[in-house]
Copies of this chain bind each other. A is one copy, B any other.
Amino acid sequence: MKHQDVPTSTINVGGTIFAYRELGPKTGVPVIFLTHLTAVLDNWDPRVVDGIAAKRHVITFDNRGVGASEGKVPDTIEAMARDAIAFIRALGFTQVDLLGLSLGGFITQKIVQLEPQLVRKIILAGTGPAGGSGIDKVTQITIFDMLRAALTFKDPKNYLFFSQTPNGKKAAGAFLQRLKERTANRDKAISLGAFYRQLRAVHAFGLERPADLSRVTQPVLVVNGDQDRMVPTSNSIDMSKRFPNAELVLYADGGHTAIFQYHEAFVNKALEFLGT
């Protein structure tokens, strides 16, 4: 079954209902997908979810206060990581792989610092470390691009997620079409207030003291476009040097969501890295 047809499940996580979707073979270590600022379940590129789920057990979910998950978005990344850990445990998993995109990558890093034994392998896409260069500017860039998009009647993802070359613009259009493939039982929209609280947490993360990434012993795949203006690409390069066991893949002419733009190459690389 494809992600567009997978029903949305719910689970009680310490009294709060969390929404998630589960697909792929239900064997082996599951891959938990942690999504970006403003995203709900329907914001994952179906090619990436279905591509990984062809070989691996995949779980996408809404963290607390996002989309159909109940509760209030916390105002720190660490609290979001604690919620994600509680969700993973509620599903009964004792070891998982993590794929964190942007905000999801911030949360992924906190999870592995809080509960290292829970995590086997890590993919960090379009993201950066606490206190990383320019991460304290994510809030500003996001809001400026929202304004730019509002005034030009475009989706801000055109500006924030893709390179501004002819190739990047074409890829943005194709991606936005793919997001419409699911027509039934779509997720709830994110509220303006939830977006707001996410922005605050991201801003605080950008101002944190740098974490000691040398303690992360898991294999890490760091992936990004070479032109990420939302979480500057220099952060991906920096992280790949600071993790003791990391591999870096940069896609030429790619932006913040290069894993969506180059979904075929990324899925192949991710499956090779994670193992099947």
> For chain A, what secondary structure do more than half of its interface residues adopt (helix, strand, loop), or is it mixed?
helix
Q: List 9 A-B contacts (CB under 8 A).
A: A143-B146, A143-B150, A146-B196, A150-B203, A189-B191, A189-B192, A189-B193, A192-B192, A192-B194
Give Cα A196–Cα B152 distance, bound, in whole angstroms: 12
Closest 6 CB pairs of A and B: A189-B191, A143-B147, A150-B199, A192-B195, A190-B192, A192-B192
Contact with B along A183-213 (1 / 0, CB 8 A): 0000001111111100110010000000000
Contacts of A217 in B (CB 8 A): none
Q: A residues bordering B, Cβ < 8 Å?
A: 38, 75, 139-140, 143-144, 146-147, 150-151, 153, 189-196, 199-200, 203
Give Cα A92–Cα B136 distance, bound, in whole angstroms: 53
Give Cα A23–Cα B190 distance, bound, in whole angstroms: 31
Contacts of A151 in B (CB 8 A): 139, 203
Give Cα A4–Cα B177 distance, bound, in whole angstroms: 42
Contacts of A144 in B (CB 8 A): 143
Give Cα A190–Cα B189 distance, bound, in whole angstroms: 9
